[in-house]
C-alpha cells in the first residue's frame, strides 16, 4: 500500500443477517463521520460507489421462527452481487473498503476479493462467526460468515469466490474473540484456523499477536482481506454495535492492530461492520470506525 492508494468505498446497509435492527444505518453514520474527506486528506484517491441495493426487513417475507438459516435467499443474492462488484473493483487496482451493515456481508466482500488470487484472512471480532445451520442457536447468518468462507455452510453461500473454500483455513486468523457458542467452540478447535482469544491478547499483548497473525495471513499469499467488527472494542468505547460484549480490546489496541496492518503493506480489502447508530452515543462508534480505517490505510502518529 502506498500513500496514493486508490480506495473504493461501498456501503452495504443490510441487517437481515442480524437479530437486532439498526446496523443498516451503519454506512451512513460512518460516512457522516467524514470517512471520504479524511481518506482524501491522508493522500488517497477516493471513489465512493454509494450503497449496494439491499432488501429491507419490512419488505421481505419473514422466515419461520425455527429457521436455521434466516433470510438465506435474500442474503445470498446480496452477497453474490457484492462479490461481483468487489471483484471488479479489485481488478481495477483499487482497494475495496466495505461499510456495514451486519457481518453476513463479509461472505460477499471477502469472496469477491479472493476471486482469482490466493488471500489470507484476518478476522477481528468479539465473536467467531463460525456457526453453520447445524450449530447455530439463532439461525442468524451474521454468526456464520467465517465458517462459510472456510468451506463450512450452505452451498448457496460457500462458492461465491469461484472456489471452495474461499480461504485456506491455515491462512486464516481470528483475533480478540471472547464470546463463543458451545458447538461453535468445538468446531473451531478442530479447524486449522489460528485463534487468538482475549486471553492471549491480555497475556502476550496486541503487538505480538498481530505480528504472528500477519505472518500467518501473508505466508504464500497475495496479501489478505481484513474483516473488522466494531464489537471487538469494549462497549465503553464503542457502544453503538449490533452485539456488544464486555471485556473487549481498547480503542488504542485496535489502532495498534490497524497500524501494524498498514505497515505490512499486504492489505487488499477491508470490511468495517456492525455499527449500529440507534445504540450509539453522539456517533462515537462511527467516528471510531473512521479513525480505525485511517490507521489501517496508513495514518501515523508521527
Residues designated as active site:
103, 125, 127, 129, 142, 229, 231, 274
Angle between helices 206-218 and 251-264 (to 10 degrees): 30
Residues that constitute the known binding site for Mn(2+): 103, 125, 127, 129, 229, 231
d(CA 104, CA 239): 20
For 92, phi then psi, to 5°, come to -90, 15
Decide: 143 and 127 in contact? Cβ < 8 Å: yes
* 260: number of Cβ within 10 Å: 18
CB under 8 Å to 150, separation ≥6 — which residues? 165, 166, 167, 169, 172, 191, 193
CA 38 to chain centre: 21
β-sheet bridge partners, residue 121: 172, 225
Which has the closest alpha carbon to 258: 204, 207, 193?
A: 207
Amino acid at each position: 500500500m502506498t500513500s496514493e492508494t486508490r480506495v473504493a468505498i461501498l456501503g452495504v446497509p443490510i441487517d437481515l443477517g442480524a437479530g437486532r435492527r439498526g446496523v443498516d444505518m451503519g454506512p451512513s453514520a460512518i460516512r457522516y463521520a467524514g470517512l471520504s474527506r479524511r481518506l482524501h486528506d491522508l493522500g488517497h484517491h477516493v471513489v465512493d460507489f454509494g450503497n449496494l441495493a439491499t432488501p429491507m426487513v419490512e419488505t421481505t417475507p419473514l422466515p419461520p421462527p425455527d429457521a436455521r438459516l434466516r433470510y438465506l435467499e435474500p442474503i445470498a443474492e446480496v452477497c453474490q452481487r457484492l462479490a461481483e462488484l468487489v471483484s471488479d473493483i479489485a481488478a481495477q487496482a483499487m482497494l475495496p473498503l466495505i461499510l456495514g451493515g451486519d457481518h453476513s456481508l463479509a461472505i460477499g466482500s471477502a469472496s469477491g476479493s479472493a476471486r482469482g488470487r490466493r488471500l489470507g484472512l484476518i478476522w477481528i471480532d468479539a465473536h467467531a462467526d463460525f456457526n453453520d445451520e447445524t450449530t447455530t442457536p439463532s439461525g442468524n447468518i451474521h454468526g456464520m460468515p467465517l465458517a462459510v468462507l472456510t468451506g463450512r455452510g450452505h452451498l448457496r453461500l460457500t462458492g461465491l469466490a469461484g472456489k471452495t473454500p474461499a480461504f485456506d483455513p491455515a491462512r486464516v486468523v481470528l483475533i480478540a474473540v471472547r464470546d463463543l457458542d458451545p458447538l461453535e467452540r468445538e468446531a473451531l478447535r478442530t479447524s486449522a484456523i489460528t485463534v487468538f482469544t482475549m486471553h492471549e491478547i491480555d497475556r502476550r499483548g496486541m503487538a505480538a499477536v498481530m505480528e504472528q497473525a500477519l505472518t500467518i495471513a501473508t505466508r504464500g499469499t497475495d496479501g489478505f482481506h481484513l474483516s473488522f467488527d466494531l464489537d471487538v472494542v469494549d462497549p465503553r468505547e464503542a457502544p453503538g454495535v449490533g452485539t456488544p460484549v464486555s471485556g473487549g480490546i481498547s480503542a488504542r489496541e485496535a489502532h495498534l492492530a490497524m497500524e501494524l496492518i498498514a505497515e505490512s503493506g499486504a492489505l487488499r480489502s477491508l470490511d468495517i461492520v456492525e455499527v449500529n447508530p440507534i445504540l450509539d452515543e453522539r456517533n462515537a462508534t462511527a467516528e471510531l470506525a473512521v479513525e480505525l480505517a485511517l490507521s489501517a490505510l496508513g495514518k501515523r502518529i508521527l
